[in-house]
Amino acid sequence: METKGNSSSSSSTIYNKKLMNINNEDRISGLHEPLIHHILSFMDMKEVLQTSLLSKRWTHLWQSIRTLKFHEHSWTNRCDRWNGRNPKLKKNKLTKFKYFVDTVLFLRDGSDIDKFDLFDLFAEYVDSRLIDRWVTYARKRRVQVLRLGGVSILSLETLYFSS
């Protein structure tokens, strides 16, 4: 009788270990890079960079992503947006946002860009030279779609820019 109980218990333990191994398996890191890039293309760049902490393989994946989305909402919480009348708070957020965008663009691998989005740009604090610099960067990376402020203003497939 004890043998039966032990075999049942041991097969149950083996089943549980197999189940744990299946549940702990990292299936996302096993995906091909183009598929991971496609998944990341739906995320804001702040979130994309947070994924680089998932595993060693993910550390540099963000550097070649072809859709760059920089959204103000990832730098503020709801209270900030509802009580957004504080100029010091806005200026501080903008400084962090500008630094983040500049750093991402500087550390990218130079691959082409399909979409470049800059949303909710704290309009009263944005320096047009800064926007020009970011747009120039996107243009040099053969950007196909450029969106500023959440409104698609340019589709660059049909426009010619002189160097």
Whether 26 is covered by a domain: the verdict is: no
Task: Say what percent of the chain tops pLDDT 70.
Answer: 64
Whether 110 is covered by a domain: the verdict is: yes
Whether 116 is covered by a domain: the verdict is: yes
Q: What does the pLDDT read at residue 30?
A: 82
Q: What does the pLDDT read at residue 90?
A: 73
Residues with Cβ within 8 Å of 163's Cβ and at least 6 positions away in sequence, in order, are none
Whether 136 is covered by a domain: the verdict is: yes
Q: What does the pLDDT read at residue 126?
A: 65
Q: What does the pLDDT read at residue 83?
A: 54
Q: What does the pLDDT read at residue 151?
A: 47
Q: What does the pLDDT read at residue 123?
A: 58
> Domain limits at 98?
32-155
Prediction pTM value: 0.71
* DSSP state letters, the chain: -HHHHHHHHHHHHHHHHHHHHHHH---STTS-HHHHHHHHTTS-HHHHHHHTTS-GGGTTGGGG-SEEEEEGGGTS-HHHHHTTT-HHHHHHHHHHHHHHHHHHHHHS-----SEEEEE---GGG--HHHHHHHHHHHHHTT-SEEEETTEEEEETTS-----
How does pLDDT run across 85-105, given as a tens digit for each residue?
Answer: 677 777 787 788 889 999 999
Whether 109 is covered by a domain: the verdict is: yes
How does pLDDT run across 9-30, given as a tens digit for each residue?
Answer: 666 776 666 655 556 667 777 8
Whether 55 is covered by a domain: the verdict is: yes
Q: What is the tally of structural domains in the chain?
A: 1
Task: Pick out the chain residues at pLDDT < 70.
Answer: 1-11, 14-25, 75-85, 120-126, 150-163
